[in-house]
Structure 1
Amino acid sequence: MFDRFDLPTGGQFFVYSDNYDYVIGAFTEANEFPGGEFSTQPVPGDAVTLEYYEPAEARGQSEISLMRVVHAYRNLFGRENNPLDDFGDSGTCNNNVNCPEGAAWQEQKRGVVMLLTSGGFRYCSGSLINNTNNDGTPFVLTADHCDPTTTSVFMFNYESPGCPNVNGPTNQTVAGCQLLFNSSASDVQLVRLNSNVPLNYNPYFSGWNANDAAATNSVCIHHPSGDIKKITFDNQAPVSSTWSGTPANSHWRILNWEDGTTEPGSSGSPLFDQNHRITGQLHGGTASCTNNIDDYYGKFSLSMTNGLRAHLDPGNSGVMTLDGFDPQAGGFVTGTVRNATTLLPISGATVQVVGGVNSATTNASGVYFMPLPDGATYDLAFSAYAYVSDTVTGITIVEGDTVIADMNLTALPIITVLEEDFETGAPGWTHNTPGGTWVDDWHISTERSRSTSHSYKCGSTTTGTYRAFNDARLLSPVMNNLPADAVLSFWMQLEGEVSGVYPDSAYDGGILEISVNGGAFTQITPQGGYPNTFRYTVGGGAPAQGPMLGLPCWATTLTTWTQMTADLSAYAGSNVQLRFRFGSDNSVQREGWYVDDV
């Protein structure tokens, strides 16, 4: 597990077993994950080799920081007394996905995955699913009761190479995920894998149908009983129904399967309509090889209505159907966005297809990477806070090719209305707490600084940790008549407490707030958003006891100085004041929050 994983264009990272008979990788910049974290699946043996190839022209541009090594106490790769454990365990009425029956479903099968615990127990199925950006974001749709976690393993291409029963490969996996959306009404869960799916896995992101209308026939692709991938057919229209206490008409009921069945382990697997689009995921039922009736799939249409659309249709286009995305069928455009004067990379810049939905964001090295359908020509719009937008035209994508499109953006003229490095006592800055049980740990510190020797810290005045029950507020001076196109920039380091089960959930962390014309302080969202949310419900640990339950926040560990920006153009002409607010609960304290060079 890595807390920083940032590779330049051309960099390749591999992991080998101690005898080199098990290899995963190459991982490239395409496998980077927002926030910088990265993890790999387990490798058999008691020793591993990490290998990184760095191109000469990219020397010194990579950042790889190993945070943790996990050693399993049970064999994930098959019990020693039965190396084919679970292979062949499903009923004989099931069809291997590569039999003639599955010939028309060879794209969709590439997205279906098997879910395993970190201990190697094979327990559910799921599928990669497309979004309206058609960008290969590693979303997996599964059942809410499957509930994968940061330690779950997602296995790709576990299938017989042909129609006969032959065990499949088990080394094409991705480890860990983050929960994005769940709903018990349709028993649905959407997670984002902790790394992009390697292209050599040949992934496919299935399309979907959000209409609440029955298909003429249905197909399910799944891993019954943890076995190799199977395919099952229903030649009739499903009917609206309910299952296990869910709302009326929240599920599609399969009356009976004409060919094949489902079993434990099939839960979470996708149900496809006649147009090869997902209409639901398996919740439960009574089907088996001896009883091929009654399976229930949570309706995709209800899931979209209840909040799934925010992730799969991020631009809220309202489309009701979407075809699948095959990253291997198109090409790629990549490049580096730099400051036209200094030639330094610009992180957080947006690259958008003009007139389209595809977009990408540059990483800390200013690099972006975007898959695009082939056989077309695109114009790309480049934009970043405090820079003049620009466009590259005539980018032609050919299948399998990668096109380089760099951009140098011109910085807008800068009018500085506030500048503070905290080296001279920070005049005009104050800090406080609402009192009661809440405390304030803000102070000027010399422990860490980005420039010279001082920063503002919310934490211990020594080398210890912040106290419990912080509601500490650091306030800037009031800035009068804020100019148009104002942008806030500051640098920070942070060590807060996050959930050990759900790393997007925080117990302690910080937010940014603004007061306009003397009004109440309200939260503002930085460029790229907040990576965490203060916990407020039970699950994966008790709910937080801090002061900002349910609010998005910064909490993930950042031990290198990281620049944050926020667009303040909406407050042009107003008198504004900024507030850096840190909250902590009643237990488990860490280093705290450092702010510098505002």
Structure 2
Amino acid sequence: MVRSRWVFALLAITVLLSVIGAKVPFTAAQNQASTSDRPLGLAQGLKDLNTVAQIAVPELDLAKERADAAKRPSNLPTRFAKDYQTTLDIKQVASIEIVGNRTVARLRIDAPKALSINVGFTSYNLPKSGQLFLYSPDYRSILGPYSAADNEEHGQLWTPIVAGDQMIIEYSADSGEFALADLTLSAINRGFSGFGIPRDLLVDKSGSCNVDVVCPEGDDWRAEINSVAAYTRNGLDMCSGALINTTANDQKPYFLTANHCGITAENAATVVTYWNYESTLCRTIGSAENGTPLPKPNTTMTGAILLANYAASDFALIELDDEVPTEYAPFWSGWNAQSGDFPSVVAIHHPGVEEKRISFEDQATQTTDYLGTTVPGGGTHIRVVDWDLGTTEGGSSGSPLYDPNHRIVGQLHGGYAACGNELSDWYGRVSVSWNGGGTSTSRLKDWLDPTNSGALVLDGTGGTPAFTLNVNPSSVAVCAPVSAQTTVNLGWISGFSEPVTLSASNLPAGATASFTPNPVISPTLSSQLTIGNLSTAMAGDYSVAIRGDSTTISRTTNLDLSISGGLPSAAPSLTAPANNATNVSETPAFSWSSAAGATNYLLEIASDANFSNLVYTATTELTSLTSAPLSTNTKHYWRVRAANACGVSAFSSTFSFTTEAAPGDCPIGTETVVAFNETFDSDPSWVHGGTGDTWAYGAFGYNGGNGIKATDPASVSDQWITTPAISLTEGLTPTLQFWNSQTIEDRSAGGCYDGALVEVSTDGGSAWNQIPNSALLTDPYNGAITASTNPLNGSQAWCGDPQDWLKSVVDLNAYNGQSVMFRFRLASDDSVGRPDGWKIDNISVKACVAEVVPEGPSLVFLPAITKN
């Protein structure tokens, strides 16, 4: 099994990146970009997030989704999110920028009314230099970096939630490896309830009779508490489960849960587990605040494989993709596979997949069928007659039931228990699951007793209490002698209770560090760090080591500290593009000299020498940067200034350059003649027809305007729409230009099952010929159609699946001086379609002619007049 890394969800990160703000450190060498533990949008000053490509999914009806979830049958897991299925190659649909030697793709997901977003990549394979981040637009919630270490045999990656209704997906890699990634987004899941929901959006909450595991009632169960985790499946459903020990005591990441939670061999890769999600305060039982969800945990794992399951006793055993990190203080619970009843039992679970709770039954259990009261009935389940303290709820399914010896005897199947009643719950029996259906894929024995010891009872192992340590912000820039400040955050892993003493080392010479408070004692969760006495500190970058020591454990983390002793020494000198350069790429590579004392640089590009119309700005720590695409065939002006925490330098001198002409552009010195232009502001009522004709006019054009569209059906079709006749004047250099987006079934191997193309007629529509690939100046055909039932089988065609809006430019020189018509044609085979199909907007025919310079006024010389 290929190993995959676990990741943290970094919470509450606030970064200010401006010419006088905090410097965001970057671990790369100063002449190139490299991998980082932060999104490049923070470290490198990419374009504003509002400008990146966006995918908008349908708005959630929260009330309807919650009502539908409440009606789900009791034999299904609790649902917290609504799915949106898609097929998006991130490299194709995202906005692309180049930073140093890295190419960056960013895509913004907008999910109106969603309380959280999680996503699934059904194709995930990153190159060695690749990194993937997912984060909220305010950077308060960041998942990643995911990397090539997360490439799995099952080829998928499913993520934890990001709170809120927007998410940024950012993929980057060294430019030479960027295209090697296989990164297909297939699911966008929108939360309507469940964990991690901000307090002001709260609707549902767990019952107030529940007992936080941190309460004194949990003291005897600290180890087992660390076994239990919440998890999601398919990004939609949620349950609970627990790590379970084996006779080999090898701490394999085996995780016991319920069969009805729906984990299969096909979807096990979608499992995301949430560890140590529990309150740090013992909330008063029965109080209003006891049911209020807390922020989601920052300790997660993703991916699993199914080992065994058995419906009769409702068990499922999975193996997590990775080893459970030791800093999670994991514990592998023991088990009891003997038959019989128990004088008392304890349950540890996540009701509603909110904070971990503990429940107690002080009366003897019964052996019954599921939901039965006849003893012993079929004998497959343990009946908990009623809970004496606490309860269970939706989301608790799959959680372990422990006997008085702290061994798992069952996992929750279902029941009627809730706050305010004394009804029963039923747990599938480990004693029945032990031999299950008689095969390794339907019983526990093969997995939990790999040594063939014959043992029917086993104690647990592991579970050392621990704490986590991080600083926020993790990067601070100051202008000496101003003191530097940050917050040191600690997290108590269940069962940890020791004071933690904080210290700092690797400080600038003469500097001091103070922590308030120190030591940190639960339930305090943070301490303010102040680094002072910087008046004599040398300017430069420092990596300050922050250490936390308890009686038994030490943890360290780093603070990147940048100290400036004054303004940058001078303005940078510009080097490339050279002043007055022409035919410059639409994505120019800019470079300039370094300025002593600078920690970052601001690049400005404008369309005028006064810089009143800025077209691009970026902040970077480097002395080079490749911009996002600029307008082609256009004169631009650029300048740079240096900055640090003390302020900014003057701007450099101003250079100008002219970008190259793109296909279809008229070079400077010529002017454009428009022979035809259709923007679809109104319905042009063009002729359309063919088999399965769906061509229509409506609000599905470029940038949300009107346009025309044909659906790609799941049946044989050959549908077309034609322009009116257009006269091409002899001697010009005409082009056909149009914007189009495609969601047309491809064969994912350089060709199409369904396909679209453009044809031309020079005889009023009697005969049609396909525009060949050689005439496509941009956006060439994807390949040949290879579907025998498609009427265009064998033809070169477009089948972007999907391809976002692109401008297609067609060379029409072959038809100079003629009257032409164009036909847009989409054909499909007898299976599988795409409802978005082919959308077209802004169709024009243009040509370039020499610019006519008007003659100036004639000069008239008048005779001199003598003044007396």
Structure possessing the higher radius of gyration over alpha carbons: 2
TM-score by length of 1: 0.47
